[in-house]
Amino acid sequence: GNSVTQMEGPVTLSEEAFLTINCTYTATGYPSLFWYVQYPGEGLQLLLKATKADDKGSNKGFEATYRKETTSFHLEKGSVQVSDSAVYFCALRRQQGGSEKLVFGKGMKLTVNP
């Protein structure tokens, strides 16, 4: 079946630290891959996406590369800020019954301290 496994937190970092959040997936075919971010009190927002192998998604200093050979889509940021404190969800989009649906990982809470 289709599933997403991401590293579980919570994680606490100091400002300007390097961030990596691991995400691997299991899927039939070639799904699109996503990172969503949920800031406190808000709904999930699309952070970045990649639709095919070797694509790199990037936004707000975050990057993730679609690696088919390792079935991974790890999220990275070189220098985190306090404002990056949020919960991060890795997800894939699967096709089922004529419609497309998102499958999420468990989410990882990141806290960045000044």
Output the smallest distance, CB 54 to another protein, in A: 19
23 binds another protein (CB under 8 A): no
8 binds another protein (CB under 8 A): yes
Cα distances (angstroms) measured from residue 95 to each of 4, 25, 31, 49, 101: 15, 15, 8, 17, 6
Output the smallest distance, CB 9 to another protein, in A: 10
Output the smallest distance, CB 85 to another protein, in A: 17
Of positions 31, 107, 110, 112, contacts another protein by CB under 8 A:
107
Coil/strand/helix, residue 96: strand
Please, which residue, 24 or 38, has the CB nearer to another protein?
38
Sites for another protein among residues 57-96 (CB under 8 A): 89
3-state helix/strand/coil string of 6-67 = ECCCCEEEECCCCEEECEEEECCCCCEEEEEEECCCCCCEEEEEECCCCCEEEECCEEEECE
Please, which residue, 5 or 65, has the CB nearer to another protein?
5
